[in-house]
């Protein structure tokens, strides 16, 4: 195999030569630097590289090119080399257009021309592209095959689990010819109980309706701790937990993060977060999670998936958690970052159709199945708005069903504006879902106008619910002080009007901010009482909790 390729394409030959020269100077020893003067020429070069079996580490494409612009070229290049990292070269005047278009091809960076001196403007970007490419590896994608039914909760949960953990897989319907072939070769009867969903690993191992834990182990996700004792245990792998893991591990604490399902939490389900600092062109929840996860692992944090903490243990100065299988881990301190979950929608027939057309959260894996159909989204907050924008690209029509009188009270202005500009999105206020109907899958939703009482039947095969959120903290009952809604109290919120410390508090000081009613147990993010429900605040609290862990350890 030859050296991996760095490819640059620009219709101005002098620019293309200059980029290639700068790249060769710095990377020539380890990478083969190639250049092209147009998109089609660059695609031909990529096809040849593919035929030779060589790898492409990064592609730098000019935005403004005749015949095929940079975005169109990168889109086509992704089909050939999906793992190659991508940067777009733009002139200052094109930044807006480029930023808008960046969402289409998910580029890693855009570079403003001219980039002199390259040491400051070009090389740091290319270094980052190469580091990301190396971290992800460029071996052929090891393909996991999943055979299942379209409207089956078990099949949905399995695909959702793989997607949210960023494990690539190929999906086959059980009644498709390839699906039948796979079932036959696995000697599996699709009618028998506990066969579907069926998973075939790249090694050819067959798993019949595996549990998330079994699946996680087989697809290479860590599920068991390597140590018995850590400096800090972080419970929950959303932005707050990942933020805490990055800071704790980077500051030398022996850190383990335990996540019951998949890292990313609620943010991981967001199709595009547009208000997180440092991402002017927005970032998908999956991308943000992938980067945060890699960052935490790079600093030495251990991340365990499919491990649900179900008991908080306080023994002398040790703090710990017990898992569902009865095993325990202990540490000097614990950071609880368990976030919130969607409330269940109360409507007749909805429970039977959950996972069969009705989904809580964004369920992006269902997007292709929504093509040409009407989709109903329930909720009036940003999460529902983002989902409406996302599904409007797939569905023929999206109805956003909101109980309140308007969106202004619950949704950011930028999203309200975006929604107003999308033709196939209809916002229906003062409306609730009163029934979900269908044989084996959702086929109809009855909507009720709360002002007139009128019922409107809507033929919709998909309904995504984003209503309110509840902290699932019952397992902390009796150990920590929580508010009436179950959110965990911390810091001065724990003190009585006369400054009295919480019952059982045994330290000779008031609780630190973010410290719960048990010294050494901290809380960060959405699960904290009165927290701001935002990605930035969750990440910030995760980082702050770690500083307070240090203060606790040295107190």
| Residues 517 and 308: beta-carbon distance below 8 Å | no
Which position among 207, 216, 273, 395 is part of the footprint of ligand FAD (CB under 6 A)?
273
User: Does the protein bind ligand FAD through residue 248 (CB under 6 A)?
Assistant: no
Q: How far is CA 527 from CA 72, 232, 488, 496, 538, in A?
A: 43, 18, 6, 21, 9
> Which window, 270-278, 370-378, 429-437, 502-510, contacts ligand FAD (CB under 6 A)?
270-278
| Residues 406 and 419: beta-carbon distance below 8 Å | no
Per-residue binder mask for ligand FAD (CB under 6 A), 351-370, x = binder: -----------x--------
Q: CA-CA distance, 130 to 21, in Å (whole number)?
A: 17
Which position among 240, 345, 436, 442 is part of the footprint of ligand FAD (CB under 6 A)?
240
Would you state the structure tokens that stand for residue 184, as one six-digit string? Answer: 């036959």
Choose among 53, 19, 44, 47: nearest CA to 33.
Answer: 19
Would you state the structure tokens that stand for residue 550, as one six-digit string? Answer: 């240090």
Burial class (CB in 10 A: 0-12, 13-18, 19+), 214: middle
User: Does the protein bind ligand FAD through residue 258 (CB under 6 A)?
Assistant: yes
User: Does the protein bind ligand FAD through residue 305 (CB under 6 A)?
Assistant: no
User: Does the protein bind ligand FAD through residue 238 (CB under 6 A)?
Assistant: yes
The full 3-state SS of 449-499, as one line of letters, equals ECCCCCEEEECCCEEEECCCEECCCHHHCCCCCECCCCCECCHHHHCCCCC
User: Does the protein bind ligand FAD through residue 309 (CB under 6 A)?
Assistant: yes
Write down the least CB distance from residue 471 to ligand FAD, Å.
9
Nearer to ligand FAD, 113 or 293 (CB): 293
Question: How many residues sit close enough to ligand FAD to count as binding (CB under 6 A)?
Answer: 37
> Which window, 69-77, 124-132, 265-273, 295-303, contacts ligand FAD (CB under 6 A)?
265-273
Nearer to ligand FAD, 330 or 472 (CB): 472
> Which window, 76-84, 107-115, 234-242, 430-438, contacts ligand FAD (CB under 6 A)?
234-242
Choose among 63, 56, 97: nearest CA to 79.
Answer: 56
Q: CA-CA distance, 359 to 350, in Å (whole number)?
A: 10
| Residues 75 and 96: beta-carbon distance below 8 Å | no
DSSP code at position 309: E
Enumerate the H helices of 165-308 as residue ranges: 177-185, 212-218, 239-250, 285-298
User: Does the protein bind ligand FAD through residue 270 (CB under 6 A)?
Assistant: yes
Nearer to ligand FAD, 299 or 475 (CB): 475
> Which window, 35-43, 208-216, 513-521, 528-536, contacts ligand FAD (CB under 6 A)?
528-536
Which residues 536-555 are close enough to bind ligand FAD by CB under 6 A? 536, 538
Nearer to ligand FAD, 13 or 280 (CB): 280
Which residues 147-176 are close enough to bind ligand FAD by CB under 6 A? none
Which residues 321-340 are close enough to bind ligand FAD by CB under 6 A? 337-340
> Which window, 45-53, 118-126, 147-155, 232-240, contacts ligand FAD (CB under 6 A)?
232-240
User: Does the protein bind ligand FAD through residue 472 (CB under 6 A)?
Assistant: yes
Nearer to ligand FAD, 507 or 543 (CB): 543
User: Does the protein bind ligand FAD through residue 4 (CB under 6 A)?
Assistant: no
Nearer to ligand FAD, 90 or 306 (CB): 306
User: Does the protein bind ligand FAD through residue 383 (CB under 6 A)?
Assistant: yes
Region for residue 84 given its phi and psi (left: phi exceeds 0; alpha: psi -120 to 50; beta: otherwise): beta
Cβ burial 500-523 (10 Å sphere, 16+ → b, else e): ebbeebeeeeebbbbbbbbbbbbb
Which position among 3, 64, 218, 534 is part of the footprint of ligand FAD (CB under 6 A)?
534
Residue bearing tokens 């035929």: 51
Q: CA-CA distance, 297 to 249, in Å (whole number)?
A: 8
Handedness of CA 491, 492, 494, 499 (dihedral sign): positive
User: Does the protein bind ligand FAD through residue 260 (CB under 6 A)?
Assistant: yes
User: Does the protein bind ligand FAD through residue 42 (CB under 6 A)?
Assistant: no
Write down the least CB distance from residue 321 to ligand FAD, Å.
8
> Which window, 89-97, 120-128, 225-233, 532-540, contacts ligand FAD (CB under 6 A)?
532-540
3-state secondary structure of 321: strand
3-state secondary structure of 233: strand
Nearer to ligand FAD, 124 or 468 (CB): 468
- Which residues bind to ligand FAD, rule: CB under 6 A? 235-241, 258-261, 265-267, 269-270, 273-275, 308-309, 337-340, 362, 382-383, 386, 472, 525-526, 533-536, 538
């Amino acid at each position: 195999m030859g050296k991996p390729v760095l490819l640059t394409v620009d219709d101005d030959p002098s620019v293309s030569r200059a980029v290639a020269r700068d790249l060769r100077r710095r990377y020539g020893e380890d990478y083969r630097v190639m250049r092209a003067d147009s998109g089609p020429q660059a695609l031909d070069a990529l096809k040849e590289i593919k035929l030779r079996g060589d790898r492409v580490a990064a592609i730098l494409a000019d935005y403004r090119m005749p015949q095929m612009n940079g975005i169109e070229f990168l889109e086509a290049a992704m089909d050939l080399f999906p793992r190659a990292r991508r940067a777009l070269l733009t002139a200052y005047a094109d930044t807006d257009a480029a930023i808008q278009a960046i969402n289409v091809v998910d580029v890693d960076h855009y570079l403003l021309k001219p980039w002199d001196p390259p040491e400051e403007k070009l090389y740091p970007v290319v270094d980052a592209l190469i580091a990301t490419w190396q971290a992800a590896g460029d071996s052929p994608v090891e393909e996991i095959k999943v055979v299942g039914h379209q409207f089956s909760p078990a099949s949905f949960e399995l695909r959702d689990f793989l997607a949210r953990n960023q494990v690539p897989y190929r999906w086959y319907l059980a009644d498709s010819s390839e699906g039948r072939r796979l079932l036959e070769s696995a000697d599996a009867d699709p009618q028998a109980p506990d066969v579907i969903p069926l998973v075939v690993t790249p090694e050819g191992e067959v798993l019949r309706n595996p549990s998330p834990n079994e699946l996680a182990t087989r697809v290479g996700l860590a599920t068991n701790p390597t140590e018995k004792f850590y400096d800090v245990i972080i419970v929950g792998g959303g932005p707050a937990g990942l933020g805490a893991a990055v800071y704790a591990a980077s500051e030398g604490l022996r850190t383990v993060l335990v996540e019951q399902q998949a890292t990313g939490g609620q943010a991981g389900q967001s199709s595009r977060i547009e208000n997180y600092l440092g991402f002017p062109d927005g970032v998908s929840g999956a991308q943000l999670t992938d980067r945060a996860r890699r960052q935490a692992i790079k600093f030495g944090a251990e991340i365990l998936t499919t491990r649900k903490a179900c008991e908080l243990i306080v023994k002398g100065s040790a703090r710990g958690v017990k898992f569902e299988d009865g095993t325990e881990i202990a540490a000097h301190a614990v950071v609880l970052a368990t976030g919130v979950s969607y409330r269940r929608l109360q409507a007749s027939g909805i429970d039977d159709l959950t996972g069969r057309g009705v989904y809580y959260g964004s369920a992006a894996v269902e997007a292709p199945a929504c093509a040409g159909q009407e989709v109903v989204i329930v909720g009036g907050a940003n999460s529902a708005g983002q989902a409406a924008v996302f599904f409007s690209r797939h569905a023929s029509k999206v109805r956003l069903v909101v109980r309140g009188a308007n969106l202004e009270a619950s949704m950011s202005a930028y999203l309200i504006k975006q929604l107003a500009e999308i033709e196939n999105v209809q916002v229906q206020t003062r409306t609730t879902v009163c029934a979900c109907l269908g044989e084996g899958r959702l086929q109809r939703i009855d909507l009720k106008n709360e002002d007139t009482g009128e019922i409107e039947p809507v033929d919709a095969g998909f309904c995504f619910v984003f209503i309110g959120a509840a902290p699932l903290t019952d397992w902390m009952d009796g150990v920590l002080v929580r508010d009436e809604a179950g959110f965990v109290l911390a810091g001065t919120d724990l003190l009585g009007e006369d400054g009295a410390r919480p019952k059982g508090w045994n330290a000779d000081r008031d609780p630190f901010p973010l410290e719960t009613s048990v010294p050494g147990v901290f809380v960060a993010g959405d699960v904290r009482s009165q927290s701001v429900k935002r990605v930035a605040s969750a990440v910030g609290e995760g980082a702050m909790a770690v500083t307070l862990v240090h203060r606790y350890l040295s107190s």
